[in-house]
């Protein structure tokens, strides 16, 4: 029961922090300009700093041997979830503007904006290396299959470029560069100066509150009165919040992952829709309202499902 009450407490903290962003939107203190700034600061500065401090403070060179197996488990789990989501979208006979959006929403998890705050609330700072591994696997699919799926639903045309463009998009992302830098430093057994680590720590500590304020403003933008179960969204919620963690659990069992790494992966797999899907839907001419509504409903839904998940995994 301890895990259940910890999850309830974590969800309450998340909800209260998100309410700050919602309140700022209501009062007009936060607009699209501030939202854009927050997104850029979190992704390009705060998360990379968080990656470096989280990995260097919680891992050593000996731990890297297991990282490959753990990453393989994430890739298999996310890939299987995406394939199942695509099949479900076809069974539901969703219109073209929603088919790929549904699959991306059901298959990909919000690892950063929701995942980091929730996991650190539940497991403490020791969870960060495993959060970063899950992010690496999740964002690989987001930048490849996720974009292709949303493009299929849109009328904005396909992006130019091929595999080279895909690799460039993945490996020029600051969070991934932060992970790679930390891994190189671990392999070389090099420690950054204490001053640098302290600065990175101060910046990295802003990720959780700012990410949740950002999420709260997204809910305000959509509007609570506009949240309704559009066709296909109930199935998406079941897939995202219930089926995805079952698939993740199966992959962890297959690779023999237990303890903290398994619990972190399970929580990460059961989190709301990744926020970039809404952005991509608007960019490629897909159903942006459908994506935004599904994203907000999944955020609210995880407040109910996450405590149950923690009760099940103990």
Give the model's confidence band at 233: pLDDT under 50 very low, under 70 low, under 90 confident, else very high.
very high
**CATH number among 1.10.260.40, 1.10.1060.10, 1.20.1530.20, 3.40.50.720, domain 2-313:** 1.20.1530.20
pLDDT higher than 90, residue 236: yes
Which has the minimum average pLDDT: 8-17, 73-82, 299-308? Answer: 8-17
- What are 76's two structure tokens? 């298999």
Instruction: Single out the residue of 193, 155, 163 nearest to residue 288, CA to CA.
Output: 155
Instruction: Single out the residue of 124, 293, 304 nearest to residue 223, CA to CA.
Output: 293
Which has the minimum average pLDDT: 3-7, 28-32, 193-197? Answer: 3-7
pLDDT higher than 80, residue 314: no
- What are 13's two structure tokens? 């903290």
Burial 166-180 (b: 16+ CB within 10 A, else e): beebeeebbbbebbe
Tell the residue number behind the tokens 């989280």, with chain if given. 54
Whole-angstrom distance, CA of residue 169 vs CA of residue 164:
9
User: Tell me, what's the pLDDT at 251?
Assistant: 95
Whole-angstrom distance, CA of residue 311 vs CA of residue 301:
16
User: Tell me, what's the pLDDT at 167?
Assistant: 66
Question: Please, which residues have CB within 8 angstroms of residue 209's CB and are 6 or more apart in sequence?
Answer: 17, 117
User: Tell me, what's the pLDDT at 159?
Assistant: 54
pLDDT higher than 90, residue 183: no
Instruction: Single out the residue of 314, 279, 282, 273 nearest to residue 105, CA to CA.
Output: 273
Contact 142, 112 (CB under 8 A): no
User: Tell me, what's the pLDDT at 1?
Assistant: 63
Whole-angstrom distance, CA of residue 199 vs CA of residue 205:
10
Summarised one tens digit per residue, pLDDT across range 259-281 is 999 999 999 999 988 877 877 77
The model's pTM: 0.81
Summarised one tens digit per residue, pLDDT across range 101-154 is 999 999 999 887 788 888 888 888 888 889 888 988 888 888 778 878 888 877
**pLDDT average, residue stretch 78-107:** 92
**DSSP-derived 3-state class of residue 59:** coil
The per-residue pLDDT of the chain, averaged, comes to: 84
């Amino acid at each position: 029961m301890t895990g259940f009450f910890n999850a309830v407490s974590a969800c309450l903290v998340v909800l209260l922090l998100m309410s700050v962003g919602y309140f700022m939107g209501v009062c007009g203190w936060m607009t699209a300009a501030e939202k854009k700034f927050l997104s850029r600061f979190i992704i390009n500065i705060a998360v990379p700093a968080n990656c470096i401090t989280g990995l260097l403070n919680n891992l050593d060179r000996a731990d890297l041997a297991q990282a490959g197996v753990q990453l393989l488990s994430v890739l298999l789990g996310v890939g299987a979830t995406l394939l199942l989501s695509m099949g479900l979208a076809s069974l539901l006979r969703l219109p073209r503007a929603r088919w790929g959006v549904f699959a991306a929403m059901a298959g990909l998890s919000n690892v950063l904006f929701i995942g980091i705050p929730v996991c650190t609330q539940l497991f403490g700072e020791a969870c960060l290396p495993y959060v970063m591994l899950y992010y690496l696997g999740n964002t690989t699919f987001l930048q490849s299959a996720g974009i292709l799926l949303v493009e299929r639903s849109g009328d904005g045309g396909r992006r130019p470029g091929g595999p080279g463009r895909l690799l460039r998009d993945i490996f020029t992302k600051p969070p991934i560069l932060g992970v790679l830098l930390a891994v190189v430093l671990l392999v070389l057994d090099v420690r950054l100066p204490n001053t640098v680590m302290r600065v990175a720590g101060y910046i990295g500590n802003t990720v959780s509150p700012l990410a949740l304020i950002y999420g709260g403003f997204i809910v305000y933008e959509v509007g609570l009165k506009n949240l309704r179960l559009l066709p296909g969204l109930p199935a998406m919620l079941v897939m995202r919040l219930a089926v995805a963690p079952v698939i993740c659990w199966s992959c962890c069992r297959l690779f023999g992952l237990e303890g903290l790494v398994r619990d972190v992966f399970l929580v990460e797999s059961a989190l709301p829709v990744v926020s970039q899907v809404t952005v991509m839907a608007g960019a490629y001419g897909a159903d942006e309202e459908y994506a935004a509504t599904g994203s907000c409903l999944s955020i609210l839904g995880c407040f109910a499902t996450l405590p149950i998940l923690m009760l099940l995994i103990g």
